[in-house]
């Protein structure tokens, strides 16, 4: 269970209580502490520049750590963070008291864990010390001791935690001083002083860090609550963080220099001479004027290249730019199990919950969490595997049948335990059902649009986006549309149809089975075409309908089957006929463009493991105030890559057009603008089967104005208001991957995709590149710099230069 504690950064007493509570919880040292800020204090940024608002910072901590519950140190501190009221607790609600009857806390208390460790390991007599210690002090460093090693509640009705700890482990008691702390640090990795109450409380949890793990000496003021809060969160997000009180830096100087010299060594496995180094990081309470002096006098070594000084605190609350590598929080795991389940028509999945074997069967509704990751390995793409990631509210719809809701995080879907031996029954919704329920929760009514129904049928008929790849050629789309426009029959001679498909795909290995896909998946159906001897018209007849006589589809007269000369193509011939949504004129009512556009996001973006998408075809949306809008497709898109944590889900709205001369009109732009205002930060996609040179100047101008509006900075989101993606036939008809299609096109497409750091796996990158390619816009970085320069000139003019 991950609890997020909200406290004022200068409230030392309540911060100490938070340390005590987390000492008594399984995995408590990984629970984040969110600083409550009514305004950004002057000490937050060392240079005094305020890059973020107080609300942005608090929400940034939530987005980074994604706590399952909020715990307020004072009532009302978490009110602005948007959590369901049922998942906002008070500090006194977490741990159960000795006298409590019928009430349990939240999270799994360590008592069961202590019992397991004692029975399996610590009850036996050892030849060497067991390494368990309990460091305490009554000095101003009491908070530092609790933050670093853990502390137990002093109240009589919660004293049983410390009693159990001492009974199980017989810890060595240590009075924390500069000398004893240095002794503990020098004994790291040995049997002596290696286990504190906080460390033992995380037993049986595997921790996977995403950073390189280079050590950090964190110099802090051990009496400042805000420095203790910063260290706590830094340790919860990165490995090898060693705190050094600035008050004891004189004593620690020798140890610190030795630590820095030992840490300066070649990076294992790297043959290019890359070195690991120890970073000397200074907390925000230490003034800039003191940092250089303290570093020079106590930390700097004579080893060239070994000294690294960092005077800023890592902004874990701020999403880094796309070009920078992320340092996500570590993954905590106690147990893992993988199941493969065949979905029934009702899409019900039953699985057993995972549980710590040492826990008592009963003891509370929220003692641990199961994180469920759903992957779809079938050819059907309408199984919902991605939900909007927001730990503040439950996933909609409720998939956990007969139980409470589920949280959606970047790790996966989070379900809470009620008791041991529990079994889950989940109903996995289709993308359309999940997205409609999500919109309904926002007060928006969604109904399938007239254009959305054929799009849905096309994807389902072709069994997902891989099947939609059979449409990924302009000649194939035109051929199917031509057949749909043929009066009466909607058919083409079978040899002619097969040859045209072959001519279109050529020898491209990614299109080698287009004909078979269209036939096997029932986009077309084989039948017999007969010419009526009375009216001279052709009519197509399914195989099951053939007999000695058939009826003319036009004049309804009987046509005798040409048994005497069945091979005479002037009277009869085998033919394929488009059926279902493919028989609709105007390019399946626009369904081809929408299906191919969604295929770009569901199958063509680069990346080792690719993205996951949940999709819904066209919907009419009615907002609470009566306004209406339409989207040709809606996507939940989540980037996934091997070796990297999943990113937050992105919302995508799309407008898709076929080959019309003047497709994108003012009303289309206004519908997308309405959606952009209702869903800040969502991506707006304009997709067309036409190539860029076929777009009219007015179409490009309309979309460009909207894209420039969308590039404006949204302060609460800390990103552009509405990134716009422009897709043309180059992207929609790409046979394999988007980046390869651009390389094959050569010219400016190949130039933009050539740099190794460019990745089309990021939607933000695709938005920037397609705006340059098709809307004649400068790169976003240049555009932003121009805006800054213009703003600076206006400011200088107002101030008289």
Secondary structure class of 407 (helix, strand, coil): strand
In this predicted structure, what is the pLDDT of residue 67? 96
In this predicted structure, what is the pLDDT of residue 525? 94
- Which residues have a Cβ under 8 Å from the Cβ of 478 and sit 6 or more positions away? none
- Note whether 68 and 416 are within 8 A (CB): yes
Residues 439-465 have a mean pLDDT of 93
- Span 314-327, pLDDT tens digits: 999 988 766 566 67
351 has a pLDDT exceeding 90:
no
- Note whether 683 and 675 are within 8 A (CB): no
Helix (H) or strand (E) run with residue 747 in it: helix 747-753
Question: Which one-letter DSSP state was computed for residue 320?
Answer: P
pLDDT averaged over every residue in the chain: 89
Task: Between 69 and 341, name the one with better pLDDT.
Answer: 69
126 has a pLDDT exceeding 60:
yes
In this predicted structure, what is the pLDDT of residue 400? 67
In this predicted structure, what is the pLDDT of residue 33? 98
- Span 686-699, pLDDT tens digits: 999 999 999 999 99
In this predicted structure, what is the pLDDT of residue 101? 59
Q: What is the chain's percent helix, strand, coil content, to nearest 5?
A: 35, 20, 45
For the ranges 187-196, 339-348, 495-504, 565-574, the one whose mean pLDDT is highest: 495-504
Residues 644-670 have a mean pLDDT of 91
Give dist(CA 610, CA 629) in Å, integer: 31
State the SS3 of 548-578: CEEECCCCCCEEECCCCCCCCCCCEEEEEEE
In this predicted structure, what is the pLDDT of residue 401? 63
- Span 510-548, pLDDT tens digits: 888 999 999 999 999 999 888 887 787 888 888 888 878
99 has a pLDDT exceeding 80:
no
Residues 68-76 have a mean pLDDT of 95
Task: Between 221 and 418, name the one with better pLDDT.
Answer: 221
Which of 4, 20, 1 lies closest to 12, judged by CA? 20
pLDDT category of residue 746 using cuts at 50, 70 and 90: very high
């Amino acid at each position: 269970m991950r609890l997020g504690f909200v406290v004022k950064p200068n409230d030392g007493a309540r911060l100490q209580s938070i340390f005590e509570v987390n000492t008594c919880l399984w995995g408590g040292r990984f629970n984040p502490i969110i600083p409550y800020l009514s305004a950004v204090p002057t000490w937050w940024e060392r240079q005094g520049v305020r890059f973020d608002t107080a609300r942005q910072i608090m929400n940034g901590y939530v987005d980074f750590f994604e706590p399952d519950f909020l715990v307020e140190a004072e009532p009302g501190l978490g009110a602005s963070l948007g959590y369901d009221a049922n998942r906002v607790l008070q500090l006194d609600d977490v741990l159960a008291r000795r006298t409590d009857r019928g009430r349990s806390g939240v999270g799994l208390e360590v008592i069961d864990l202590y019992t397991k460790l004692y029975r399996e390991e610590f009850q036996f007599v050892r030849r060497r010390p067991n390494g368990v210690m309990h460091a305490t002090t009554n000095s101003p460093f009491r908070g530092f001791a609790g933050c670093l090693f853990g502390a137990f509640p002093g109240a009589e009705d919660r004293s049983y935690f410390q009693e159990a700890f001492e009974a199980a482990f017989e810890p060595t008691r240590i009075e924390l001083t500069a000398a004893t702390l240095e002794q503990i640090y020098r004994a790291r990795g040995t049997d002596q002083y290696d286990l504190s109450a906080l460390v033992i409380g995380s037993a049986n949890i595997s921790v996977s860090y995403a950073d390189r793990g280079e050590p950090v000496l964190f110099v802090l003021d051990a009496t400042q609550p805000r420095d203790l809060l910063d260290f706590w969160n830094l340790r919860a997000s990165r490995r090898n963080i060693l705190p050094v009180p600035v008050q004891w830096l004189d004593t620690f100087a020798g140890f610190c220099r030795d630590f820095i010299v030992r840490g300066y060594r070649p990076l294992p496995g790297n043959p290019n001479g890359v070195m690991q180094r120890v970073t000397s990081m200074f907390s925000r309470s230490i003034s800039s004027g003191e940092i250089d002096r303290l570093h020079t006098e106590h930390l700097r070594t004579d080893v060239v290249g070994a000294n690294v000084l960092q005077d800023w605190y890592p902004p874990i609350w701020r999403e880094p730019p796309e070009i920078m590598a992320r340092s996500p929080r570590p993954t905590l795991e106690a147990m893992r199990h993988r199941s493969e389940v065949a979905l029934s028509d009702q899409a019900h999945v039953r699985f057993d919950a995972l549980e710590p074997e040492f826990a008592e069967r009963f003891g509370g509704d929220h003692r641990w969490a199961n994180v469920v990751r759903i992957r779809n390995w079938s050819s059907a793409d309408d199984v919902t595997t991605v939900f909007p990631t927001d730990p503040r509210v439950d996933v909609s719809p409720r998939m956990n049948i007969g139980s409470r809701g589920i949280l959606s995080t970047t790790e996966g879907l989070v379900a809470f335990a009620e008791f041991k031996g529990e079994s889950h029954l989940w109903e996995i919704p289709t993308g359309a059902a999940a997205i409609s329920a999500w919109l309904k929760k926002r007060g928006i009514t969604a109904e399938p649009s007239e254009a959305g129904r054929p799009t849905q049928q096309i994807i389902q008929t072709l069994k997902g986006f891989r099947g939609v790849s059979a449409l990924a050629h302009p000649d194939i789309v035109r051929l199917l549309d031509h057949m749909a426009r043929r009066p009466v029959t909607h058919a083409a001679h079978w040899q002619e149809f097969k040859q045209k498909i072959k001519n279109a795909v050529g020898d491209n290995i990614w299109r080698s089975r287009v004909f078979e896909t269209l036939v096997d998946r029932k986009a077309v159906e084989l039948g017999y075409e007969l010419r009526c001897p009375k009216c001279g018209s052709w009519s197509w007849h399914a195989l099951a309908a053939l007999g000695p006589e058939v009826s003319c589809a036009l004049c309804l007269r009987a046509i005798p089957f040409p048994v005497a000369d069945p091979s005479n193509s002037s009277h009869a011939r085998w033919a394929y006929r488009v059926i279902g949504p493919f028989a609709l004129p105007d390019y399946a009512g626009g369904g081809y463009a929408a299906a191919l556009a969604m295929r770009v996001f569901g199958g063509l973006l680069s990346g080792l493991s690719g993205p996951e998408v949940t999709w819904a075809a066209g919907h009419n949306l009615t907002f609470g105030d009566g306004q209406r809008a339409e989207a040709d497709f809606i996507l939940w898109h989540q980037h996934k890559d091997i070796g990297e944590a999943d990113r937050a889900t992105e919302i995508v709205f799309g407008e898709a057009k076929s080959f019309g001369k003047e497709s994108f009109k003012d009303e289309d732009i206004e519908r997308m603008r309405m959606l952009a205002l209702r869903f800040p930060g969502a991506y707006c996609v304009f997709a067309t089967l036409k190539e860029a040179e076929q777009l009219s100047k007015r179409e490009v101008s309309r979309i460009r104005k909207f894209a420039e509006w969308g590039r404006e900075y949204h302060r609460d989101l800390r990103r552009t208001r509405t990134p716009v993606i422009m897709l043309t036939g180059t992207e929609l008809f790409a046979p394999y991957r988007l980046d390869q299609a651009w390389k094959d096109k050569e010219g400016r497409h190949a130039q933009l995709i050539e740099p190794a750091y460019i990745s089309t796996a990021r939607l933000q990158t695709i938005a920037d590149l397609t705006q340059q390619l098709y809307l004649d816009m400068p790169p976003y970085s240049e555009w932003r710099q121009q805006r800054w320069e213009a703003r600076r000139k206006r400011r200088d003019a107002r101030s008289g230069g």
